[in-house]
Structure 1
């Protein structure tokens, strides 16, 4: 996917108490920026004083002029905008999944009370769920923090599998550094539900992604230790 917005460089200072706001130094001026993540980034990365990339916000009524986009780690960029995840998965679906299963593609569609990231309707009904991962580690444990939402989603996906839906479950690392994902065995509810879904033939895949020359793309398929 191409990044149409102009990219600005800055230095990350700190996250504000408001989880969607951070402060960044741009041309020696402290600027308030939007953080496009529902979780605090400090849960996943050390950002203070690191080089970051920002995108210019569109619209005159936005509180901030810029949004946080990526941070430099080990000479590579880890993306911080989780909205990218579904765009990458959509591109993968269109390119890779059987075209007969993808005659109609719907985004954020409710299916039996469950809000799917994608619903594909054709000769089969296919539900797609995507999980974004922000990390600078080579080997990542997921989920790294407890998520009731992820557990509830797996419960709903298990019911859809039982009723005849085909399900794809994607882990997308917003970093080219990640080489493998291990399912957190200490989160028993999540790991047990995932295994139940896999026994019902839910397909799981994991990819790293990278940013270069104003383009974000899936980088490599990576190992899942479930």
Structure 2
């Protein structure tokens, strides 16, 4: 007997969700969708190429924008591909990750006393900074904040158990034959983030990259060697350096997403 999996949480958009048909993607940020027999302009909140997903005639889901003064009245957020609904919103993975951490999905980030979005280390802005109570107790009240951020303290207050760290989140849309791959376009910024995470690790901080697969049909994750060989090589270097690599997937049901029971297995072997 199969026991149904009760999801940890459900994350839904507040805006009205409508279904249409993709006419074309005009450029990186704009597409046209046939909605109730009429074409409408939609913002594409994703800079990846998405060439295999955004093809004319594809069933898509759009949100009605709450700001009436926008140039585009809608946001493109989902597309149907080979029987799977894919979320395309590059803003969603951070919200999804925060809920995963708050619901203890990752053993690595349980019992946190601080989870701060968008924190800076050196010249990179990471998606999250976290601390555990053991670290809070070790802070020197007279120590100076790092980079002007009051929650970031010099790493010499850390212990080898790493009671504070940084998390970078990457949204993944591309899956083929059950294999999710990132990035969807060459990313100099992504390579820079990996190098900065390695520097933070050397200074005593924990460091992790979480790949959020915005669909439910992947069982393996790999770096996209063909799309960006430099990122793939740097990701392997980061993993060997001690940077944690984690994954999670979502089930997309219209305007709502829920986490799958487990994320895809990570395979860093060169293809």
TM-score between the two structures when normalised by the length of structure 1? 0.90
CA contact (8 A) 1:70 1:79 kept: yes
Aligned to 1:103: 113
Structure 1 residues 52 and 198, CA gap change in structure 2 (3 angstroms)? same
Q: Alpha carbons of 1:108 and 1:82: their partners in 2 closer, same or farther (altered >3 Å)?
A: same
Q: Is the 8 A contact 2:22 2:57 kept in 1?
A: yes
User: Counterpart of 2:142?
Assistant: none
Aligned equivalents of 1:59 and 1:144: distance in 2?
29
Q: 1:188 Cα deviation (Å)?
A: 4.7
Does residue 114 (structure 1) correspond to residue 128 (structure 2)? The answer is: no
Q: Equivalences for 1:70-149 in 2 at 5 Å?
A: 70-96=78-104, 97-99=109-111, 102-122=112-132, 123=135, 124-137=163-176, 138-149=178-189
Does the residue aligned with 1:198 lie in a helix, a strand or coil?
helix
3-state DSSP class of the match of 1:195?
helix
Shift of 1:47: 2.5
Whether the aligned pair in 2 keeps the contact of 1:161 and 1:197 (CA below 8 Å) is no
Match of 2:233 among 169, 192, 202: 192
Match among 160, 169, 182 for residue 209 of structure 2: 169
Alpha-carbon deviations, 1:192-215, whole Å to 9, x = none? 332332233221111221122642
Aligned residues of 1:73 and 1:136 also touching (Cα < 8 A): no
Cα displacement string for residues 56-91 of structure 1 (whole angstroms, at most 9, x for unaligned residues):
111121112211010112333101111111111111
What CA distance in whole angstroms lies between the structure 2 residues aligned with 1:193 and 1:170? 15
Moved more, 78-87 or 132-141: 132-141
Matches within 5 A, 1:191-210: 191-210=232-251
Preserved CA contact (<8 Å) 1:8 1:53: yes
> Relative to 1, partners in 2 of residues 1:89 and 1:11: Cα closer, same or farther, differing over 3 Å?
same
Q: What is the total number of aligned residue pairs between the two structures? A: 222
Cα separation, 2, equivalents of 1:147 and 1:116: 15
TM-score (norm 2): 0.76
Give the whole-Å Cα distance in 1 for the aligned partners of 2:265 and 2:249.
10
